[in-house]
Structure 1
Amino acid sequence: MTNRLNKAALLTGTIIAGAVVATPAMAQGAPDEPAIEASQDAGVANEEGLIVVTGSRIARRDLESAAPIAVVNEEEFELSGAVNVENVINTLPQVVPGFTSNSNNPGNGTASVNLRGLGETRTMVLVNGRRWMFYDTNQTVDLNTIPQFLLDSVDVVTGGASAVYGSDALSGVVNFRLRDVEGVELGGQYSITERGDARRFEVSGAIGTAFADGRGNATVYAGYYNRDSLFQGDRDFSAFALGGESTDDPLQQFGSSTVPFGRINTPGSIGISATANDANDNGQCDPGEGCAVLGQGLVIDDAVFDNAGVGRARTGDLYNYAPVNYLQLPQERYLLGGYADYEIGNGHRAYAEVSYVNNRVDAALAATPVTGTFNIDLATIQPFVDAATFAAFQELDQREADASAQRVANGLDPLASAELGTVSTFVQRRIVETGLRENLDERNAFRVLGGLTGPIGEYLNYDAYYMYARTRNAQVQNGNISRSAFQAGLDGTGTPINIFGPNTLTPEQVDAITIRAQNGDISALQVASAVVSGTLGDFAITAESDPIAFAVGTEYRKVSSQFIPDTALASGDVIGFNAGEPTQGEYDVKEFFAELAIPVRFGSATLDLTGAARYSDYSLDAVGGVWTYAGGVEFSPIRDVTIRGQYQRAIRAPNVGELFGGSSIGFPAATDPCGQDAAATDATIRALCIATGVPSGSVGDADTIQLNTQIPGLFGGNPNLEEETSDSYTAGIVLQPRFIPGLSVTVDYFDITIENAISTFGGGVNNALRLCYNQVQDINDPLCQAFDGFRDPTTGAITVDNPPLFLQANAASLKTSGVDLGVSYGTAIPFSLFTDTGEQRFQFSFLGTWTDTASFTPVAAFPDEVTECAGKFGTTCSATPFGQPVPEYKWTSRFNFIDGPMTTSIRWRHIGSVQDDDPSTDYTAFNGIEEIDAYDLVDVTFSFAANEMLTLTAGVSNLFDTLPGNPEFDANGIVTNRPNSLLLGDNQEQANTYPSVYDVLGRDYFVSATLKF
């Protein structure tokens, strides 16, 4: 008999997916329901048994998914002790961690999800099947805004889903399902590490009730979360910044007076450049031009002042910035919200949702390093230096005057510092007297939604809603230095400043050069959507089949965002936090979409065919009208076996930041080829370096060409960007053998390719340098033109005084492929301590991923220049969307033993080994790291249901206290012992490791309680 879909049952996908609005949530904690599983029917069922799976808007009976879906149930958040959503999501093998609570530099106090490592902007985040609010011009969702304590489940879908949900879902969809509350729920949790620090505390409450004789339901909630700070100096492995391999030095700890075996540098140093005297502009240091090193043992172009006013030659000294950087960012968050629905008559229901989040997060960096070329008035600085140093300045002053006169005689312009009494010099000074650079982000976000749903006759239903979300961020920065005031303090036009030694700046001088800066972000999203779904009457392919089902609809979206810096930041006068110009922009899109599901039943076999298409008309001229589409098939010859596959074409329109972003300065890790040995021996590279502005005497001299491991650049948006496109394929098999009750196995292959990908021109500073000088080797090529005229004429270095400009471009491609394996199993064990039955339940869940390919091609014109990041880590892959180490093998598994009221749970997380991505450098020759070994963490949790109202939970994460090892140093600060491979040098992201991937807190305890009545 044909199963008729009646008008009460035919709810649209957006309502059925949002269990809290129109349908009851599925029961949680069933004996055979694993906390994490690979599923083919993840969804929420209504009273009629209809299901909507994430990735579709069609409500169907027994509809399964052609795309692989990983489901994280409420139980996983409870057993893992996770208060923030990121802590569970980032453990999934399909996810490469984005920003987390351990991301300080880089980091911005938010938590994002990066599905498959293809970039957080290419992962769509939904809540109850609808878009959530974003927080910045990149239109990224902050997971901190989602109420974890109300989660029913999280569905993670692989592959593009633009045909169903619109732009952004190139790598897949993460859908957070909130649950209805019946009665009152109160909860609290406290976490602290074994070392007694990094405290975290949360309290939450929710009230849910039916009203108007059951015609309506409402839930309101509130939550408070507080997280303490933890500094890198609080852990031995991160207390000292390791580095040196990239400059062919032994892996060395460059510290301050706190180094283990004595002082090897000073917090403040100044370099005095004497090479600005190329009178003939021939890139060479000709006799009489003043390029030689002065006597008296003082190297004028690299002098360090250990003692006030007394210079010495610099010997590779660097400042230990590590101890005062955060290892865990402090956070304080308030959540408020509610949702309700009400039947207004004849099956028509009105529904509403509202949420508000106040989130405050601090970040802290070491004191501001001032770097750049400044004019110095000799009379101003004379009181601050000894006689020998002042004499050196006078000699430099005379050389500049002589070189300037020679230039005039040669028909060239005079030097700017030609006048006696003034010299132009390169300065590096860490302004430790100001204290830390601190920035406080306070984000206020709200989201409101209202809609109607109901029947249209017997076979159809409608759903229409409008949503508005807005986020405002205010950031206050302390510890910045005003470049103009610093310059005025050296050239005699302002308050004189004494930078010649550690702690030489007086409070008055500090006040004269410091500046507080502020900026803000305002982002808004509007969505208006209307869907009609149902069936073609009772029409079905066979008498045994369900009717053919469909959904058609239209959607309007408008996004707007702006970045508002104050005058100091916008003008570039700030040194400390990166300066940037304002950004403001908006666009909208009108869309029409349709889906079709054709179920076929014949005997014990089933065949399901699905298709979807969407036309989107963007107000952006470079995008215009675009099509996305998808098709899938599932075939079950018997109930035990299902074979499935899907193809999807998806798009991502450029976001506001990529389109309209004002130029801002950044300091990415990079290597300048003109400072490498090959530049001095390879005639082609040498000639190109000279042609792009490097003095011939500096070619191949890393100490002159590259002053540190970071090279500055200006980065900005491009209003002519087009959309990105992706093609994703998935194919798999689901095994549910009846002869092994409780066992389910899924194996799925995925292949995602993104073309026309938006990225920084040339793939960023490092990649553009590499391509220009090692591949293109043509001064007229745009890649090389990016650096021509942007080098310091005296040293050839790329400096903050004139950084090159890199705009966004549709020039890259991304590809990832691999296999997901999911296993879940539940059975009875003949042993019990807490029940009279003599047995308990055992649950096992496993989710694992083998990543075969994770590649990034930064410039389409060079298809052979591919960065492969599968099984890799390092500075090259860090500059790609993959960002973090991408192991070939990653899995998470959980073992639950449920003995009446007691649940004992063990979680095992595994991250495979990864190799260094730079084949040109053998880091082991410099006491460095070429491979990070495989990594395993074990967590244990005990949960006890004291009664029907009260549940107590306690657990320990990282049971065996697996951390990067503590380095051992010799008397010169050289690392003599590295306990494990998690302790990195130049290949680190921050804290001598990758703190979002590898645990940095250590053994961590939590206790929680939940009260329901």
Structure 2
Amino acid sequence: MFNRKTKSALLASSVISVSLFAAPAMAQDVGDNDPSITSAQEAGPIVVTGSRIQRRNTDTAAPVAVVDDAEFELSGTVNVENVVNQLPQVVPGLTAASNNPGNGTATLNLRGLGATRSLVLVNGRRWMFFDTSQLVDLNTIPSFLIESVDVVTGGASAVYGSDALAGVVNFRLRHVDGVEVGAQYSITDRGDADRYEIHGALGTDFADGRGKATVFGEYYSRDPLFQGDRAFSNFALGGESFGEPLQQFGSSTMPALRFNAPGSTVVNGTTFALGSGLVIDDAIFDVGSGAARARAGDTYNYAPVNYLQIPQERYLLGGYAEYEITDWAVPYAEVAFVNNRVATELAATPVTGTFDVNLAAVQPFVSTAVFQQLQTLDARETAANAARIAAGLSPLAGAAPGTVSASLQRRVIETGSRNSLDERNAFRVLAGLRGDITDYLQYDAYYTYNRTRNANIQAGNISRSAFQNALNGTTSGINIFDEGGLTQEQVDQISILAQNSDVSTLEVASAAISGTLGDFALGQAEPIGFALGGEYRRVASQFIPDTALASGDVIGFNAGDPTEGSYNVKEVFGEISVPVEFGSARLELTGAARYSDYSLEAVGGVFTYAGGVEFAPIPDITFRGQYQRAVRAPNVAELFQGTAIGFPGATDPCGRPAAASPGALRDLCLANGVPAANLGNAAIIQPNAQIPALFGGNPNLQEETSDSYTFGVVIQPLAIPGLTVTADYFNIKIEDAISTISLQQSFDLCFDQFQDAGNPLCGPFFGFGDIRGPEGAIDVDSTPVLGAQNIAEFVVSGIDLQVSYNMDLDFSLLGNGGSDLNLNFLGTWTEESSFLATPDSDLLDCAGVFGTACGQPTPTFKWTARATYVDGPLTFSTRWRHLSAVDDDDDTVDYGDFNGTERIPAYDLVDLTLGYDFRENVTFTVGVNNVFDTLPMTPTFDGIIVSNTNNGTLLGDNQEQANTYPSVYDTLGRDFFASVLFRF
């Protein structure tokens, strides 16, 4: 923390964020009204996030939110994600609560437009990413060294290049003067979910202040918390209740981890599904018990063994330094290394599918009655197969005498849980040179290399081939028909360890010249500012699965195909700022442009540009507005994802009768290789209901484009020192957004809607050579490639509002003669958050809703407010976090009838923090988050009956995981933390 003088200056300088978050206003603007702040004019030129021009003031036409370092201390936050996700501009991405889905990383999702559309910078430069989607893991940024976090709303490609469609988040790291050693410990009031961290930093000035250097290190550990450790998440609520009460078999008096209705349809024992021939009274036949189950829905409760908080262990080392040789030569360098180990855990592997079962192989494990059922089924299949052969048809698979083909479901609980361990090693090196060319001209050039390697080990998987071989008699048989029936030898026989690797690299070489046009000024304003430069970037990434994963032999975790690709881009850019003053009024016009030349043929050269204006008729009020055109080039995964063949059901338009009639459809089918004589003949064009297609990356993807504009007002009345009110309207529209669609959608869009072979949406049929055989049917050897396409559209709009107020109080509780009170409110009203999946689909507006289509809740109102009282060495702070109510997005289903809820009510959390400075070099801080222990409601439990009659955040089938959205709604409960910081 800080002594009172330091704290006052810091809190005042970040009034618009006050250790909280700032919306569009500029925190430093308060300096005009606060004598404790050194003016920007006195401090020298600075660079504001969102521009490369060095300027004397921190005003910009673009809204910039600022999160100060004090927020990390006051909220007890060690991981960056926990602070950033509280911003009203952010819809949480992956977090520490993301187990399934989840991959152990923390990502940033501005405005809910997707993590790939949010650009992350550190000290104004791109940070390392971790996978083929080119996403940054926020866990790799040292939170204890963050000076501020700047968030720029809207597109910023003209300044920073690709990816900045939703906006830019810049993490500024501070230099350390002296020695800092700190530690923090957090634990819930239930005595679990422990987290502890220790860090140290050493910094110094040298050579009479011409040089400075900082080195640092950190260790962080986070214990796991299971869904079974919280009553609200212990039962996997779902919609499959079939109109009956939930029969809970998860209690200590009933068979472990089984119950009717909720959860997974794959049970502990083995069932033969309906249609397999083992049917009694139209119910699924349980081979283990030799009797029919009462009804479908007797399922397995997978929830308790899933993580509610994923474990993490992190080592972070690094440093940065600079040295002024002369005014015109200041070399600088940065280096960072992160070792991050994170695990996710799922319930035991569910085996489903059709398998060939040899009667002799399974006879030792089933009752006589069951074996007779199998013999009856075998006789039926043998007779049916003989009839097919007599009719000249192909024989049935698995229909040989003594073998039946059956659809099986089996939860292999004997193997234990599935665990996926990711160990990511990432390093980043940067070397640069900056300096003054003249009194009015500066330069800055640097090169950075970033590399991340991830080793992923999966335990608990089942080999499909080994499982099949044990059933068809190829290898020793296994007892899959009784719960717990597999011996350890049999478990080893069918288990398989799987491994993945990811390698990602980023290279950036950048150089820029910025300055002013001498002393020339318009109307006695500041000089005209400008920046010119160029940049080269190369991104490369690969995903390397082992043979089992690539072949699809693994059951448990998703199989994956190898992916590898790279591309580069060469860019030139420029900015200009023209300030004008007349009397007490001030006007500033800004502009920026960038030309990018991508090595990707489908993207090529693209322009991005921006223009803005600020107008202050009087010192108390400033109006501002900006327009930006931004782009995002497709990432490696979207372009080069490994392909695998599939056979989706679809209808080929060229086989419809309309294709034989003159018109655009006929012409397009002819151009696609269908002989004229066969047009409209479905028997020839589509002999099967399923059509072969390859699924993977699409190298023909083009760039996404966005148009965004903001306009607003900043009010700082001179009559009320310390008060700042800002309001900014934002509107972001993304066109040609990259999205994956089905084969049928591709057919419809290309052949029925656009009917233009040159349209990118016809790429799967015309962009990969001949896909049809000589008679016009799609050929399995040259199938259409179905990857992502430039087809979707996003629109998000609303208003950011902030009110902040600092005041000096004439009293002191500790007898210091005075104290400070800092108040801050930051909120966002979301007017629209819409998504158009394809040009002919229905518009889906996700503002104020959640669910299977919209995903994470997008509250109409989201705000955070903080009040901080500083009295000498004492700091007391309270925070209020609010989300407005949201409704389910599916009007066709009433989830209230299925143990869920249609509406999540308004949600509020209150946090408290107390800090004290001892002798100005030791700070002790304690706090409690979620003071009132607000958690999703618990389903009522009465014997074996479970019901969910809540009106809260406890959900059924419209959940993400853990019966809720754990990255949005707190799942830990009341949480305590204590930290200590030593400075020498």
For residue 787 of structure 2, give the secondary structure of its aligned residue in structure 1. Answer: strand
Give deviations 1:978-999, integer Å, cap 9, x for gaps: 3441111111100000000000
* Identical counterparts, % of pairs: 61
Q: How does 1:174-253 map to 2 (within 5 A)?
A: 174-244=169-239, 249=243, 252=246
Task: Please name the residue that 1:796 is paired with.
Answer: none
For residue 527 of structure 2, give the secondary structure of its aligned residue in structure 1. Answer: coil
Query: How high is the TM-score relative to the length of structure 1?
Result: 0.85
Residues 26, 147 of structure 1: alpha-carbon distance in 2 compared, 3 angstrom cutoff: farther
Q: How does 1:562-961 map to 2 (within 5 A)?
A: 562-663=542-643, 716-762=696-742, 807-837=787-817, 839-860=818-839, 862=840, 865-878=842-855, 884-961=856-933
- Report if the CA contact (8 A) 2:267-2:409 is conserved: no
- Report if the CA contact (8 A) 1:260-1:973 is conserved: no
Deviation at 1:349, TM superposition (A): 0.4
Which of 18, 36, 51 is the matching residue for 2:46?
51
- Report if the CA contact (8 A) 1:242-1:254 is conserved: no
Deviation at 1:184, TM superposition (A): 0.6
Residues 294, 1010 of structure 1: alpha-carbon distance in 2 compared, 3 angstrom cutoff: closer
Task: Please name the residue that 1:158 is paired with.
Answer: 153
Residues 482, 932 of structure 1: alpha-carbon distance in 2 compared, 3 angstrom cutoff: same
Distance in 1 separating the partners of 2:370 and 2:312: 48
Residues 115, 294 of structure 1: alpha-carbon distance in 2 compared, 3 angstrom cutoff: closer
Which consecutive unaligned segments of at least 5 residues does structure 2 have?
1-5, 29-38, 261-265, 651-681, 756-760, 766-782
Quick one: which amino acid aligns to residue 100 of structure 1?
T
Asked if 1:981 corresponds to 2:981, the answer is no
For residue 237 of structure 1, give the secondary structure of its aligned residue in structure 2. Answer: helix
Task: Please name the residue that 2:778 is paired with.
Answer: none
For residue 377 of structure 2, give the secondary structure of its aligned residue in structure 1. Answer: helix
Distance in 1 separating the partners of 2:152 and 2:562: 36
- Report if the CA contact (8 A) 2:238-2:899 is conserved: no
- Report if the CA contact (8 A) 2:232-2:938 is conserved: yes
Residues 433, 714 of structure 1: alpha-carbon distance in 2 compared, 3 angstrom cutoff: farther
- Report if the CA contact (8 A) 1:483-1:574 is conserved: yes
Residues 771, 909 of structure 1: alpha-carbon distance in 2 compared, 3 angstrom cutoff: farther
Distance in 2 separating the partners of 1:692 and 1:743: 74
Task: Please name the residue that 1:72 is paired with.
Answer: 67
Deviation at 1:249, TM superposition (A): 3.9
Task: Please name the residue that 1:477 is paired with.
Answer: 458
Deviation at 1:833, TM superposition (A): 1.3
Deviation at 1:257, TM superposition (A): 5.8
For residue 23 of structure 2, give the secondary structure of its aligned residue in structure 1. Answer: strand
Deviation at 1:29, TM superposition (A): 4.2
Deviation at 1:48, TM superposition (A): 4.6
Residues 756, 637 of structure 1: alpha-carbon distance in 2 compared, 3 angstrom cutoff: same
Quick one: which amino acid aligns to residue 980 of structure 2?
A
For residue 518 of structure 2, give the secondary structure of its aligned residue in structure 1. Answer: coil
Task: Please name the residue that 2:368 is paired with.
Answer: 387
Q: How does 1:318-329 map to 2 (within 5 A)?
A: 318-329=299-310
Asked if 1:1012 corresponds to 2:983, the answer is yes
Asked if 1:405 corresponds to 2:390, the answer is no
Stretch of structure 1 that moved more, 203-212 or 411-420:
411-420
- Report if the CA contact (8 A) 1:310-1:386 is conserved: no
Task: Please name the residue that 1:522 is paired with.
Answer: 503
Residues 940, 430 of structure 1: alpha-carbon distance in 2 compared, 3 angstrom cutoff: same
- Report if the CA contact (8 A) 1:259-1:973 is conserved: no
Task: Please name the residue that 1:98 is paired with.
Answer: 93
Residues 721, 46 of structure 1: alpha-carbon distance in 2 compared, 3 angstrom cutoff: farther
For residue 492 of structure 2, give the secondary structure of its aligned residue in structure 1. Answer: helix
- Report if the CA contact (8 A) 1:267-1:502 is conserved: no
Query: How high is the TM-score relative to the length of structure 2?
Result: 0.87
Distance in 1 separating the partners of 2:99 and 2:982: 35
Residues 305, 845 of structure 1: alpha-carbon distance in 2 compared, 3 angstrom cutoff: farther
Deviation at 1:135, TM superposition (A): 0.5
Deviation at 1:50, TM superposition (A): 1.6
Distance in 2 separating the partners of 1:740 and 1:304: 76
For residue 115 of structure 1, give the secondary structure of its aligned residue in structure 2. Answer: coil
Q: How does 1:515-554 map to 2 (within 5 A)?
A: 515-542=496-523, 544-554=524-534
Distance in 2 separating the partners of 1:990 and 1:927: 15
Distance in 2 separating the partners of 1:579 and 1:261: 32
Distance in 1 separating the partners of 2:68 and 2:300: 47
Q: How does 1:253-272 map to 2 (within 5 A)?
A: 255-256=249-250, 258=252, 264=259, 267-272=267-272
Distance in 2 separating the partners of 1:531 and 1:294: 75
- Report if the CA contact (8 A) 1:664-1:714 is conserved: yes
Deviation at 1:866, TM superposition (A): 1.3
Distance in 2 separating the partners of 1:954 and 1:208: 27
Which consecutive unaligned segments of at least 5 residues does structure 1 have?
1-23, 277-290, 673-686, 696-712, 786-802, 879-883
Deviation at 1:486, TM superposition (A): 0.4
Distance in 2 separating the partners of 1:769 and 1:376: 39
Distance in 2 separating the partners of 1:494 and 1:93: 58
Distance in 2 separating the partners of 1:444 and 1:25: 37
Provide the aligned C-alpha RMSD in A: 3.0
For residue 77 of structure 2, give the secondary structure of its aligned residue in structure 1. Answer: coil
For residue 272 of structure 2, give the secondary structure of its aligned residue in structure 1. Answer: coil
Distance in 2 separating the partners of 1:335 and 1:311: 57
Quick one: which amino acid aligns to residue 992 of structure 1?
N
Which of 331, 339, 357 is the matching residue for 2:320?
339
Give deviations 1:740-767, integer Å, cap 9, x for gaps: 11100100000000000011125xx9x9
Deviation at 1:41, TM superposition (A): 3.7
- Report if the CA contact (8 A) 2:895-2:958 is conserved: no
Deviation at 1:311, TM superposition (A): 6.0
Distance in 2 separating the partners of 1:260 and 1:69: 57
Distance in 2 separating the partners of 1:945 and 1:421: 81
Residues 376, 783 of structure 1: alpha-carbon distance in 2 compared, 3 angstrom cutoff: farther
Task: Please name the residue that 2:19 is paired with.
Answer: 35
Which of 557, 563, 566 is the matching residue for 2:537?
557
Deviation at 1:784, TM superposition (A): 14
Distance in 1 separating the partners of 2:254 and 2:51: 59
Distance in 1 separating the partners of 2:514 and 2:788: 40
Quick one: which amino acid aligns to residue 931 of structure 2?
L
Deviation at 1:501, TM superposition (A): 1.8
- Report if the CA contact (8 A) 1:32-1:827 is conserved: no
Asked if 1:124 corresponds to 2:119, the answer is yes
Deviation at 1:345, TM superposition (A): 1.9
For residue 956 of structure 2, give the secondary structure of its aligned residue in structure 1. Answer: coil
Asked if 1:351 corresponds to 2:351, the answer is no
For residue 963 of structure 2, give the secondary structure of its aligned residue in structure 1. Answer: coil
Distance in 1 separating the partners of 2:273 and 2:746: 25
For residue 348 of structure 2, give the secondary structure of its aligned residue in structure 1. Answer: coil
Distance in 2 separating the partners of 1:664 and 1:993: 33
Residues 748, 261 of structure 1: alpha-carbon distance in 2 compared, 3 angstrom cutoff: farther
Residues 661, 464 of structure 1: alpha-carbon distance in 2 compared, 3 angstrom cutoff: same
Deviation at 1:510, TM superposition (A): 0.5
Residues 810, 626 of structure 1: alpha-carbon distance in 2 compared, 3 angstrom cutoff: same
Deviation at 1:831, TM superposition (A): 3.3
Task: Please name the residue that 2:478 is paired with.
Answer: 497
Deviation at 1:303, TM superposition (A): 2.2
Residues 768, 503 of structure 1: alpha-carbon distance in 2 compared, 3 angstrom cutoff: farther
Distance in 2 separating the partners of 1:88 and 1:32: 15
